[in-house]
Structure 1
Amino acid sequence: MVINILAGGPEDLLPNLQQYKGDGAIWVGVDRGVFHLLKRNITPEIAFGDFDSVSPEELALIETKVAELKRFQPIKNETDTELALNWALAQRPKTIRLFGATGGRLDHLFANVQLLVQPLKTKQATDIYLIDRCNEMFIKGPGMYELKKRETEKYISFIPLTLEISNLTLSGFKYPLKNRHISLGSTLCISNELISEYGTFSFSEGILIVVRSHD
């Protein structure tokens, strides 16, 4: 199962969502993201939010189009995006794609990046990808992983989310590494590139953010 979540971030940073429609994914809307989906002729199966970022006319349209609408008060402990992600994780999908979660307010951006850690905390085998027009981001715990070269998003960066990353090894990259210790705040692993069709990265301790980007 694949679940696509569209949050309410700036519309001009969204990728072409049509390319994600063909794999039978469940669509979920969050606050103004529900309206952005409907504008693209995508009807979410469920929607979450306090809907303080839509007009009364837009909300009326949402209420007529979306079968399951989870409305919340603006004063609550979780963001609308976290509520939607928690629901998605409870469905035990293989993959969650999170759109509309970058740009705009920096506090929301950092909160959304940290939400990617949720499966690691519960040892759930769900991959979460945060995707916008220029980037794809995901988070990994210790282990060895393979990446396939792409014509788009040729730049690959590795950024510590924890204080330390131990024994980071990069193979098949323009700038390889061997058992390198990386501390939070280091920019050593920004803007690397694959030189082979496939490359691998591995590390033994820490949590690592992986970002695939294009200009």
Structure 2
Amino acid sequence: MNNQKVILFLNGEVPVEIPNLSIYFKIYCTDGSYAYLRKLNIKPHVISGDFDSIHMSEIPQDVQIIPTPDQNYTDFEKALKLILEDGYKNVDVYGASGQQQDHFLGNLHAAFKFKDLLSITFYDNYSKYYFVTENTTLENVLGKTISLLPYPLTEGITTEGLQYPLNNETLSITDRIGTRNKAVNNSVKITYKKGNMLVFILK
């Protein structure tokens, strides 16, 4: 697998801040997000999707176009498959949240399906979030609001560096979740024994 990082733009809420694109080896986008990228003078390397949002004639000839018409999968999931097939495993995703919330939930579901194959970090105008492993350390988070979201059940959770620590506890999406905690150290350690967990770090 290629350790170089790529970036993927989706057709959710338009990012207020665009990261330094020079740190990414390749820029991917779905057809729906190309409209705002063009306004920002950002030319992707690859555009994928069913192209119901734009016409292919609008795209520069030196941009790779990959039609993905299969309606059994979302544009996000199809883009992740392309990134994986291209040999990359680290991807930052912008535009996954906002606007239609069913799309946002669908994007989380797609990321969950790929979490053992790709390292996916979401960024929006308010936070970054990603699935964490059973032993994770968050760095440079002093004073930030941190939410732990079980997906859908996480058992044996222990944390260090949070205002409200957990000690071998269980979080469940149907019972108790761990939103709106705060980092009291610059490093926060999270471990758990069973299940899956999303971590949100607010800006």
The TM-score, its normalising length taken from structure 2, stands at 0.88
Residue 201 to residue 34, structure 1, CA distance change in 2 (3 Å): same
Partners of 1:36 and 1:65 in 2: CA distance: 18
Separation (CA, whole Å) in 1 of partners of 2:199 and 2:86: 25
- Name the structure where strand makes up a greater proportion of residues: 2
Question: Once the 2 structures are TM-superposed, how far is the Cα of residue 61 of structure 1 from its aligned partner?
Answer: 2.6
Structure 2 vs 1, CA of residues 108 and 6 (structure 1 numbering), >3 Å: closer, same or farther?
A: same
CA distance in 2, matches of 1:47, 1:111: 20
Distance apart, 1:113 and its partner CA: 0.6
Aligned positions of 1:33-52 closer than 5 A: 33-52=33-52
For the residue of structure 1 that corresponds to 2:122, the secondary structure is: strand
The residue that corresponds to 1:105 in the other structure is: 100
2:74, 2:164 → 1: CA distance?
38
Out of 188, 192, 210, the residue aligned to residue 181 of structure 2 is 192
Q: How many angstroms does 1:23 deviate by?
A: 0.8
For 1:22 and 1:151, locate their aligned partners in 2 and report how far apart those are by CA, in whole Å.
Answer: 28
Answer yes or no: is the 8 Å Cα contact 2:159–2:166 preserved in 1: yes
Give me the identity figure in percent.
22
Q: Work out the CA distance in 1 between the residues paired with 2:65 and 2:173.
A: 40
**1:1-215 correspondence to structure 2 within 5 Å:** 1-11=4-14, 14-17=15-18, 19-54=19-54, 59-62=56-59, 64=60, 66-73=62-69, 76-120=71-115, 123-124=116-117, 126-141=118-133, 143-150=134-141, 154-162=144-152, 164-214=153-203
1:135-177: CA deviations, max 9, x gaps?
2110124x2110013378x111001112x21110110111111
Q: Which runs of 5+ in 1 are unaligned?
A: none
Structure 1 residues 50 and 94, CA gap change in structure 2 (3 angstroms): closer
CA distance in 2, matches of 1:36, 1:51: 15
CA distance in 1, matches of 2:150, 2:62: 39
More helix by share: 1
Count of residues in correspondence between the two structures: 200
Structure 1 CA distance for aligned equivalents of residues 149 and 175 of structure 2: 8
Q: Which runs of 5+ in 2 are unaligned?
A: none
Which residue identity lines up with residue 108 of structure 2 in the other structure? V
1:65, distance to aligned residue in structure 2 (A) = 5.0
Whole-angstrom CA distance in 2 between matches of 1:211 and 1:66: 37
Q: Give the SS at the match of 1:116.
A: helix
CA contact (8 A) 1:149 1:194 kept: no
Name segments (4+ residues, structure 1) moved above 4 Å.
none
Q: What are the superposed Cα offsets for residues 36-80 of structure 1, whole Å, 9 maximum, x if unpaired?
A: 2222222111111122223x5xx5332x2552111244x621121
**Alignment RMSD, CA only?**
2.1
Name the CA distance, whole Å, in 1 between partners of 2:42 and 2:141. 27
In the TM superposition, residue 134 of structure 1 has moved relative to its aligned partner by 0.6
